[in-house]
Amino acid sequence: MYAVVQVRGVVKTRQDIKNTLKMLRLHHINHCVLIPDTPENLGMIRKVKDYVAFGEVDATTVETLLQTRGRVIGDAPLTDEYVKSNSTYGGIADFAKALASGETKLRDMPGLKPVLRLHPPRKGYKTTKRTFPQGGALGYYGQEINTLLYKMR
C-alpha cells in the first residue's frame, strides 16, 4: 500500500497533471491518500511524482493516521466504536493492519472519508523543489514516508 501526499500546488501546471491529481483525490497541499499497489496507481503516481511525496506505508503508521486524522461523514473523528459497529473489525488497529496488508480497502468502511487532511510537517519541508534523494521533499521515499507522515500526524 502506498501513501501519497501532495507537497506542491498546481498553479501553472499542465492540465494532464491536474487531472491525475484529481483522480488521486489530491485537491490541496498536505492531503494524503492511501492507495493499493497496482500498476494503474503506480502509473498515476509516476506522472505526478514532481508534485507529491510517496512511499510504502506500514500498519503502525496507518493506525496512527486513522486515529488522528480519520474522519467520517459529518467531519466526526473515526473511533473504535464506529469501526466495530460498521465492519467486522474489532477496532482501528485491526482495520489498519488489514488495510496495510491489502486485505481490505478504505471504501469497505462505509462513511469513511478517503482523504486524510494532514498538518504541515513539524520542522517543515526541506525544500519543495528537489527530490528526496537530492535532499528535498518530492518523489519516492520508500519506507521513509513513515517518518514524514509521523511528522504530519
From the number of C-beta atoms within 10 Å of its C-beta (0-12, 13-18, 19+), residue 87 rates as middle
Q: How far apart are CA 71 and CA 79, in angstroms?
A: 9
From the number of C-beta atoms within 10 Å of its C-beta (0-12, 13-18, 19+), residue 57 rates as buried
**pLDDT value at position 130?**
94
Strands 139-140, 52-56: pairing kind: parallel
Residue ranges covered by each domain of the chain: 2-58+116-151, 59-112
**pLDDT value at position 153?**
86
> Rounded to the nearest 5°, which phi and psi values hold at 111?
90, -5
Over the chain (153 residues), the average pLDDT of each successive run of 10 is 95 96 96 95 96 96 95 94 93 94 90 95 92 94 95 91
Q: Are 48 and 19 in contact (CB under 8 A)?
A: no
Select 59-112's CATH number: 1.10.15.30, 3.50.50.60, 3.30.360.10, 3.40.50.300. Answer: 1.10.15.30
Q: Report whether CATH 3.40.1190.20 matches the domain 2-58+116-151.
A: no
From the number of C-beta atoms within 10 Å of its C-beta (0-12, 13-18, 19+), residue 113 rates as middle
Q: How far apart are CA 147 and CA 23, in angstroms?
A: 26
Q: Mind spelling out the 3-state secondary structure of 89-100?
A: CCCHHHHHHHHH
